[in-house]
């Protein structure tokens, strides 16, 4: 049966178990999938809870506690409050080498509150929502870790699996503090994944990024009666923004500079004595980001100088680009291709076709049956997984948890995150993570080769984070600034 919509011809996808996957369920590895399938309902319940809580970065108390409890019940040793972050934790099962890390995230984004329906309908106007699917990320990773722990206990594989509960990926740079604390020093490999509108794998990189808030303190006055006595902090923000726009013409290819004004005054007849603008600066190379950031600070200083206001620079964190690892990505690619059995029910198709009416570039629904090879590319996003990849061989992949063509950080992505199609993509991710770790535990030579590849990519470089050595986790970075 086929459905037509807006000139596209959609294939109605049905079924829940592909023939190829059934063939893979032979041998000892099948116990991994049995474990994940057995817990599928509980995993989805956990993901839905985290989706509904939608907690900001570093404030994910309930989400972090839920995941930690899941792993503790499964026999993992839990360490909470790692690297000075109350919602960061590790969960370890096993005592032998090698140690394989599985990353998990659980923070939400501001302004994206949305119900699981294909039209704009926030749960709370201006509230938080999981526009990047982190409610799925942490749960799938935990499910994979538990499945592996069972096989370690059964003696089928030898080694240690460690789950990393990572807060504040969206701008908080939490993994940098974990790396800096030595949390990954004994790991042989690190695995991660991310929800998407497609299935993709390969040795892909990302953008390095610095985040900063420029806070200007001026002098309030009556904007009409005594404007000469005022010094506008908002003017300083506007000059900073104008200078950054001019800066764009003179930056290297691939640069991204974007901002939001987080505070600009409260009344037009009062000269604002406080204003703040929040910037990201990105580039595929962290060394370029270092210099771009320096130049951006000069723009802010110029704004302060011209308006006779005081500038406060509040650095919010920096993350490196991902160092790809082809040795490991070959394993994830093979497993994602082999295990991909995604198929939409009639209800999924009905939801998807309605949501597609809101998308700028709809993509055929049957694209979920394929896996895109992204090897050699640079993703236009940033992630603190980058810092992990500089100290331990790292690989990741995407699974289709959103309607194809859905942009991340959108209300549509939040809506998809509460639907069955997100559950399907999450369970696929858990299986791929578990099978990839199994393959690495079973083939120590591949881990050795992955380490050699990382050393080769590093060359004479060493891990040099963009974060200052004395910086502490910005636990309040999501709180709105107010005038001093």
Position 480 scores a pLDDT of 75
**Cβ-contact 199, 218 below 8 angstroms:** no
282, 303, 319: which is the final residue of a domain?
Answer: 319
**Beta bridge mates, 196:** 400
For residues 215 and 297, what is the distance between their CA atoms, to the nearest angstrom?
12
**Cβ-contact 236, 218 below 8 angstroms:** yes
For residues 418 and 412, what is the distance between their CA atoms, to the nearest angstrom?
10
User: Is 357 among the domain residues?
Assistant: yes
Same domain, 65 and 152: yes
Same domain, 313 and 329: no
Distances (CA, A) of 223 to 145, 235, 272, 369: 60, 13, 9, 61
Position 24 scores a pLDDT of 44
User: Is 109 among the domain residues?
Assistant: yes
Same domain, 276 and 128: no
CATH code of the domain covering residue 61: 3.40.630.10
Same domain, 160 and 86: yes
Q: Which domain holds residue 374?
A: 2-206+324-458
CATH code of the domain covering residue 298: 3.30.70.360
269, 295, 319: which is the final residue of a domain?
Answer: 319
Same domain, 264 and 128: no
Same domain, 48 and 152: yes
The dihedral sign for the CA sequence 349, 360, 342, 46: negative
The pair phi, psi for residue 273, each rounded to 5°, is -90, 0
Same domain, 279 and 170: no
User: Is 421 among the domain residues?
Assistant: yes
Same domain, 290 and 330: no
Same domain, 202 and 219: no
User: Is 262 among the domain residues?
Assistant: yes
Position 461 scores a pLDDT of 95
For residues 322 and 305, what is the distance between their CA atoms, to the nearest angstrom?
37
Average pLDDT per 10 consecutive residues for the chain, totaling 484 residues: 34 40 57 96 98 97 98 98 98 98 97 97 96 97 98 96 96 94 98 98 97 97 96 98 97 97 96 97 98 98 98 96 98 98 96 97 95 95 97 98 96 98 98 98 97 97 94 88 68
Position 29 scores a pLDDT of 78
Instruction: Report DSSP state, residue 12.
Output: P
**Cβ-contact 14, 343 below 8 angstroms:** yes
Same domain, 130 and 7: yes
Burial (CB count <10 Å: 0-12, 13-18, 19+), residue 464: exposed
Same domain, 183 and 238: no
Q: What is the pTM of this model?
A: 0.92
How many domains is the chain partitioned into structurally?
2
Position 27 scores a pLDDT of 62
Q: Please give the angle made by the CA atoms of 97, 99 and 103, to the nearest 5 degrees.
A: 175
User: Is 483 among the domain residues?
Assistant: no
User: Is 468 among the domain residues?
Assistant: no
Residues contacting residue 222 through CB under 8 Å, at least 6 positions apart: 230, 269, 270, 271
Residue with tokens 């041998």: 27
- Supply 164's token pair: 């990393």
């Amino acid at each position: 049966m086929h459905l037509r919509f807006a000139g596209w011809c959609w294939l109605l996808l049905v079924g829940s178990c592909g023939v190829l996957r059934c063939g893979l369920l032979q041998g000892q590895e099948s116990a991994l999938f049995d474990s994940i399938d057995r817990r599928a309902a509980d995993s989805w319940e956990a993901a839905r809870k985290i989706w509904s809580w939608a907690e900001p970065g570093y404030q994910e108390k309930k989400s972090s506690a839920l995941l930690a409890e899941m792993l503790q019940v499964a026999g993992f040793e839990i360490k909470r409050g790692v690297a000075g972050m109350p919602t960061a934790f590790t969960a370890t099962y096993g005592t032998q080498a090698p140690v394989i890390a599985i990353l998990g995230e659980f923070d939400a984004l501001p302004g994206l509150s949305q119900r699981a329906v294909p039209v704009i309908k926030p749960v709370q106007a201006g509230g938080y929502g999981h526009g990047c699917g982190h409610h799925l990320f942490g749960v799938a990773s935990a499910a994979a870790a538990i499945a592996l722990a069972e096989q370690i206990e059964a003696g089928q594989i030898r080694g240690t699996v460690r789950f990393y509960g990572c807060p504040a990926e969206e701008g908080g740079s939490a993994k940098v503090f974990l790396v800096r604390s030595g949390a990954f020093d004994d790991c042989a490999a690190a695995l991660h994944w991310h929800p998407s509108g497609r299935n993709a794998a390969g040795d892909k990189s990302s953008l390095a990024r610095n985040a900063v808030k420029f806070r200007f303190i001026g002098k309030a006055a009556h904007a009409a009666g005594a404007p000469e006595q005022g010094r506008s902090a908002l003017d300083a923000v506007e000059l900073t923004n104008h200078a950054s726009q001019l800066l764009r013409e003179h930056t290297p290819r691939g640069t991204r500079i974007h901002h939001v004004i987080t505070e600009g005054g409260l009344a037009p007849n009062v000269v604002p004595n406080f204003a703040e603008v929040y910037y990201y600066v990105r580039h595929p190379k962290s060394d370029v980001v270092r210099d771009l950031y320096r130049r951006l600070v000069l723009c802010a200083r110029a704004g302060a100088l011209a308006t006779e206001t005081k500038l406060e620079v509040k650095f919010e964190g920096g993350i490196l680009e991902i160092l790809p690892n082809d040795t490991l990505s070959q394993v994830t690619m093979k497993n994602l291709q082999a295990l991909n059995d995604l198929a939409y029910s009639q209800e999924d198709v009905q939801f998807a076709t309605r949501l597609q009416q809101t998308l700028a570039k709809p993509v055929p629904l049957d694209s979920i049956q394929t896996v895109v090879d992204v090897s050699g590319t640079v993703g236009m996003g940033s992630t603190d997984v980058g810092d992990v990849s500089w100290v331990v061989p790292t690989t990741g992949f995407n699974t289709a948890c959103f309607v194809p063509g859905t942009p991340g950080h959108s209300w549509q992505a939040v809506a998809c995150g509460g639907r069955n199609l997100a559950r399907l993509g999450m369970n696929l991710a858990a299986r791929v993570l578990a099978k990839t770790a199994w393959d690495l535990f079973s083939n120590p030579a591949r881990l050795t080769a992955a380490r050699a590849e990382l050393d080769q990519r590093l060359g004479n470089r060493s891990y040099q984070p963009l974060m200052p050595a004395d910086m502490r986790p910005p636990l309040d970075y999501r709180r709105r600034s107010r005038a001093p």
